[in-house]
Amino acid sequence: MTCPNCGQQVADYMKFCSGCGTPVRAQQQQYAPPPVSTAQPSWSPGPQFGAAPPQRKSKVGKILLIIGIVLIVVAAGVGTAIFFGVRSYGRAMKNSAAYALAESTLKESQVAKDRLGEIKEVGFPFGTYKEEGDGSGFAAFTMSVEGEKLSAQYVAALVRKRSVWHVQRALLKIPGGEEIEIHRESDFGPTYTPEPPPVVDVPSDIQEPEPPGSSKARTISGGVLNGKATSLPQPAYPPAAKAAKASGTVSVQVTVDESGKVVSAKAVSGHPLLQASAVAAARQAVFTPTKLSGKPVRVTGLINYNFQLE
């Protein structure tokens, strides 16, 4: 150690300089703590000390996440395609002559005005629509209708003949189950379809005397006549009825003359879209002549036709 006054060397254990007497202190050496090592020890506790093994990242979660994202994207694409496809098909139907005729039939109907009031809005059409190159076609529309008084569902069935559309039937479905018919073609069948009156089979061999002086042919009730026909053509399934998924039994009341030919036919029950075809087929039926007291008589009865969608 060196004396700060005279520069003489002083022993470390001396408190004063031996040359000038100046007090001196031993220079304190700065203590630096040893550095702390951050290195991991070369040993590690094994399973016997309860240490958890290193976790491995699972690939299953990533795969499921990717699959989920792909499914969401695909579902969104399919939903978008269906939405725009339906809208495009609906716009095509709404721009068609068949839809224009169905809409005008609704707006011009006095029955619809009386029940719904003035038509405010006609909703988006749903259904089927097809035009053939030979001038034929069919269409069936269902759409919501909002009137001043009431809202309802409007259903219209149309056919195309010689490139001209015709409304076969149009009706309103009122909330609560009531149906109001606003149009039907005159040759398409009766406006209403009441239940047929009960009929009783009368055997053809019953002996009933004719009134004296009667020259008019007798007419008896024959019940259901399907099993008594010698020729019973089957009716065609109308395209409009198929489009509307109409099915079931249609009963046609016929009158058969003394020679066994049908002289009149009228549908009395069944789906309206099927009645015209059933009546046309019934007019072509042929039966064995019925005799009463040895004389031919007229017979009235029912012919039942069963329409089933394939």
Tell me the whole-structure pTM to 2 decimals.
0.36
Task: Read off the pLDDT band of 283 (50, 70, 90).
Answer: very high
Q: 34: pLDDT confidence band, cut at 50, 70 and 90?
A: low
Predicted pLDDT of residue 290: 85
Average of per-residue pLDDT across 202-209: 42
Residue pLDDT, tens place only, 154-202:
988 888 888 888 888 888 888 887 888 888 774 443 333 334 444 444 4
Query: What average pLDDT does range 106-119 have in this prediction?
Result: 84
| DSSP 3-state percent helix, strand, coil across the chain (nearest 5) | 25, 30, 45
DSSP-derived 3-state class of residue 89: helix
Residue 135: name the closest of 157, 159, 161, 158 by CA.
161
Tell me the average pLDDT across 23-37.
Answer: 55
What is the pairing mode between strands 137-147 and 151-161?
antiparallel
Do 269 and 195 meet the contact criterion of CB atoms below 8 Å apart?
yes
Higher per-residue pLDDT: 216 or 290: 290
Are 297 and 256 in contact, with CB atoms under 8 Å apart? no
CA angle 89, 142, 91 (to 5 degrees): 25
Asked if residues 250 and 307 have their Cβ atoms less than 8 Å apart, the reply is yes
47 contacts 41 by C-beta, under 8 angstroms: no
Q: Is 32 helix (H, G, I), strand (E, B) or coil?
A: coil
- What would the pLDDT profile of 39-61 be if each residue is shown by its tens digit? 555 555 555 545 555 555 567 77
Q: Give the pair of three-digit tokens for residue 73.
A: 């994207």
Place of tokens 């707006």: 107
The C-alpha atoms of residue 213 and residue 207 are separated, in whole angstroms, by 18
Q: What is the mean pLDDT of the chain?
A: 76
CB 102 within 8 A of CB 158: yes
Calpha distance 190→126 (Å, rounded): 27
